[in-house]
Structure 1
Amino acid sequence: MIIPLSLIGLFAIAALVLLASPWPYLAPGAAIGLVGLLVLYRRPAWGLLAIIAVVPLEGLFKDSDLSAAKLIGASLALVLLLQLAVKQLPGERLRSSMWRLLLGFMALYLLSFWASDSSEMSLGHFRELAVGLLLFAITLLIGRELNLPMMCRLVTLSVGLTCIMAMFSAKYQDEGRAAGLLSDPNVFAMLIAIAVPMALWLVLNSPNRLHRLFWIACCLLLLAGMTKTNSRSGLVVLLISLGIVLVHYREQVARLRPRHLGFAMLGLAILLPAAVAVMPDTYIARIQSLTYLKSGVNAFKDDSLGRRSSYIVVGSKMIRENPLLGSGPGTFPLHYATTGYAKAFSANRKVGDLYRRAHNTYLEIFSEVGVPAGLLFTAMVILALYNLWYARRLWLQQGNHKQADMLTHLCMSMLAIGLFLMFLSAPNHKYLWIMLALSSVLRLEAERARLPQEAA
């Protein structure tokens, strides 16, 4: 009770100070903040769920220096530090197989920061990455209390809401491509690709038919939103996810009776032509443009593919020049702007068009932070996938198929993140760092659950 009482006293003093200040109307905010902190103190996992839910909605606060996610994250970090200080939260929860890779990556990152070609750009990059590192530690501490079904519901509903906004309002589109509340349609496509496996789990584990119909509608909404993004990478990732679903549930599919299979084939015969009919012509054209790849870089008729090829050329040169520590975190745009590609692919010669990021997280880290750091970062993503798949196998060995199904769908979401990092510059994405930590937590839980059975 000492910590809650001290929090009450602190906010009471803050309210009195605000009442005596030129801004007395801010005093009620101290009371609201106190209530929020006390709730987080009792249920810190709710704070993490709130952060997960507001990630797709962060665009609502893009003109503000303090977003909802940052406010909740800072409050949650304060609460967890207090709980660690009074040993209410055991420090052993920070144990993770990911630390060795992460500490090695950060050591190389700081060395690259010290030798950076632009300290200002590197500092901005570090500030963004620090948010992900904070979420990594928070998830390790409270991940075991996280309600995974609720997380799936919140992600599905949050991303689904942004799909509705993007599909029916030009305000949330970028040159006709759905971007939701984000500035990049491909980032929005990644959120949809992350949400689809979770929505499928909700469909397959619904308690009744009404709930199942609702989540099926959400799945269709997410797929419609994906087509509106015109994202080629999103389509590839979705097809891979659906393939994994069929492999995981192959035994259930094999038990289908011939009449059920006939209905399924009839449904596909109706849905596939309908999907092609409603798919935007621009999306079909973008998919067809992938055939230009076989003709080489000089034959590209698609500016987007041409730009991505130029990123690889510039990034490869940066790696050859500084293979050990790179050119410094966040400095890829600085090097790209000095090349002829920047002018060739810039429509209006604006600064934002000249200073482009690599649109490939792996390439960006290899070129900016060096090859060793790039290998460690890639190893973290692979380890997260392995942790989830290993935990799934342990639950299957214990006969807990429901938990194994959940791990399968979370592994698909993590795979979507890992694949999309090849098409986006998003080393600080919140879902990435949450899933990296959550994979360790879920593996430890599966291993602990196996110990009593082995002892028996």
Structure 2
Amino acid sequence: MIIPLSLIALLALVCVGLLASPWPFLAPGAVIGLAGLLALYRRPAWGLLAIITLVPLEGLFKDSELSASKLIGAALALVLLLQLAVGQLPGERLRSPMWRLLLGFLALYALSFLASDSTEMSLGHFRELAVGLLLFAITLLIGRELNLPLMCRLVTLSVTLTCIMAMFSAKYQDEGRAAGLLEDPNVFAMLIAIAVPMALWLVLKSPNWLQRLFWIACCLLLLAGMTKTNSRSGLVVLLLSLGIVLFHYRDQVARVRPRHLGFAMLGLAILLPTAAALMPPAYVARIQSLALLKSGVNAFQDDSLGRRSSYIVVGSKMIREHPLLGTGPGTFPLQYATTGYAKAFSANKKVGDLYRRAHNTYLEIFSEVGVPAGILFVGMVAFALYNLLYARRLWMQQGNHDQADLLTHLCMSMLAIGLFLMFLSAPNHKYLWILLALSSVLRLKAEEARLAQGAA
């Protein structure tokens, strides 16, 4: 406890200094900070849970330079460094096969940064990516202590709360589309797609009907929030998630008796027409617009699809001209602004509206950092999915179906992120980097459990 005592002494001096300064009212804040640091020192996983919970709520602090998640992240990083320094936390926890892909990606990223067309834009991109890298290391260190059922509850409640706010307040909408607190309907749709598998797991594993009804209500609110986002990709991902759930629980579905099947069919007969009737007409129109893809994209018929097609054209040109190192991290908007597409698809004809991101993380990485780095990035996402599926298989072999079920739903959340990266520019998303690291931790825990079972 030497380090905590030194922290107490340091913060005591800070309190005394604040009391003697022109801002004595700040002294209680130092005491609260001390209490928070001591709590994180004893339970670092609480800090990670707090960061995970605050991701959908980050819009509340958009006008502040120092948000709650930044404070918690900085304090958690400080605590973990202190624990590593005194040997309280084993550095072996940082070991992960994922580092092979990540270090290769970072090496190519550094070379692309040095050859960038705009050092300023690349520096801004790196600042954003650094947050994800920090969360990756933090999750490797304390992912073992993470309470996964509690994480599922917190994510579900946090995203559900933002759904309620977005559906009933125009303040959290973007031209009629629910955007939550992040001011982007598509990013909000991705959060819902990540939360739905966790909410379904809570429904299936609730110990009593009261809790089950509560989580069912959360699921319905999440689905209502998804329709309010008008996100076509979100609907596709949700349908895929539902298909995976049915496949995973196929044995349980097969045991449904005919009389129960009749009630299920009756429920579907009532639910589907009701959902179709309540679905916003704008969302139905956007879904129907996907039929345009059969005959090619026509920008006059669907401006959104035409704009996304222009990103692919520009990105493909960047890849052909700079296949090895790209044009530099974060420089896609600079390249896009010089094309005729930027002016053609500019909604308000403002200069800032010309600089658009690729709205496709994979395309953005391939075009900005190069093909080799893009392959490594895709490899990390695929490897995370493999880790979760492998861990699930190990738990199934050990007969621990509860853990296998949880891994299935976490894999669905990871798959939702991987699919949504095709429609969003979000290489720094916190959930992405947390799940990348968590997949390695969960696989290692499953392997250790198998070895312990074999030794017994």
> How high is the TM-score relative to the length of structure 2?
0.99
- The question of whether the paired residues in 1 share the 8 Å contact of 2:333 and 2:358 is answered with yes
Match in the other structure for 1:125: 125
Name the structure 2 match of 1:351: 351
| Equivalent position SS for 1:297 | coil
Matched, 1:264 2:264: yes
Q: Aligned residue for 1:277?
A: 277
Pairing 1:145–2:145 present: yes
Q: Is the 8 A contact 1:180 1:188 kept in 2?
A: yes
Letter in 2 for 1:160: T
Pairwise CA distance, 1:301: 0.8
SS at match of 2:180: coil
Q: Which runs of 5+ in 1 are unaligned?
A: none
Instruction: Give a deviation string over 1:172-194, Cα, whole Å, max 9, x none.
Output: 00000000001110000000000
Q: 1:234 maps to what in 2? A: 234
Structure 1 residue 300: deviation in Å?
Answer: 5.2
Matches of 1:298 and 1:290, distance apart in 2: 11
5+ long unaligned stretches in structure 2: none
Structure 2 counterpart of 1:385: 385
Deviation of 1:5 after TM superposition, in Å, equals 0.3
RMSD: 0.8
Q: How does 1:264-343 map to 2 (within 5 A)?
A: 264-298=264-298, 301-343=301-343
Give the drift of 1:454.
Answer: 2.5
User: Percent identical across equivalent pairs?
Assistant: 87
Q: CA separation in 2, counterparts of 1:143 and 1:306?
A: 42
Alpha-carbon separation, structure 2, partners of 1:235 and 1:174: 19
Provide, for residues 218-247 of structure 1, a one-character-per-residue CA deviation record: whole Å limited to 9, x for no partner: 000000000000000000000000000000
Kept in 1, the 8 Å contact 2:292–2:298? The answer is no
User: Is residue 388–residue 411 contact of structure 1 (8 Å, CA) maintained in 2?
Assistant: yes
**3-state SS, counterpart of residue 116 of structure 2:** coil
Residues in 1 aligned to 2:314 and 2:61: alpha-carbon distance in whole angstroms: 34
Cα distance, 1:42 vs structure 2: 0.2
1:452 Cα offset (Å): 2.1
Contact residue 299 and residue 307 of structure 2 kept, 8 A: no
Q: Is the 8 A contact 2:318 2:326 kept in 1?
A: yes
TM-superposition CA deviations, 1:248-282 (whole Å, max 9, x none): 00000000000111101110110000000000000
The reply on whether 1:420 has 2:420 as its aligned counterpart is: yes
Q: What SS is found at the alignment partner of 1:153? A: helix
Give distance in 2, aligned partners of 1:211 and 1:454: 37
Aligned residues: 456
**1:442 matched residue in structure 2:** 442
8 A contact 2:48–2:139 mirrored in 1: yes
- Equivalent-residue separation in structure 1 for 2:351 and 2:38 (angstroms): 46
Instruction: Give the residue type in structure 1 aligned to 2:444.
Output: L
C-alpha separation between the residues in 2 aligned to 1:369 and 1:299? 29
Q: Deviations over 1:50-85 (max 9, x none)?
A: 000000000000001111111101100000000000
Question: What's the offset of the Cα at 1:299?
Answer: 5.9
2:88 alignment counterpart:
88
1:196, 1:222 within 8 Å by CA — same for their partners in 2?
A: yes
| CA displacement at 1:297 relative to structure 2 | 3.1
Give the match for residue 160 of structure 2: 160
TM-score by length of 1: 0.99
Residue 15 (structure 1) shift: 1.3
User: Is the CA contact 1:297–1:306 (under 8 Å) kept in the aligned structure 2?
Assistant: yes
Q: Aligned equivalents of 1:174 and 1:148: distance in 2?
A: 33
Question: 1:72 — aligned with what?
Answer: 72
> CA separation in 1, counterparts of 2:89 and 2:343?
54
1:116 aligns with 2:138: no
The code of the aligned residue for 2:45 comes to A
Match of 1:58 in 2: 58
Shift of the alpha carbon at 1:95?
1.0
- Separation in structure 1 between the aligned mates of residue 314 and residue 117 of structure 2, nearest angstrom: 16
**Structure 2 letter corresponding to 1:116:** S
Q: How far 1:353 moved relative to its partner?
A: 1.5
Matches within 5 A, 1:362-401: 362-401=362-401
CA contact (8 A) 2:312 2:363 kept: yes
Opposite residue 145 of structure 1, the aligned amino acid is E
Look up the equivalent residue of 2:310 and give its one-letter code: S
Shift in Å, 1:298 = 4.0
Match for residue 455 of structure 1?
455
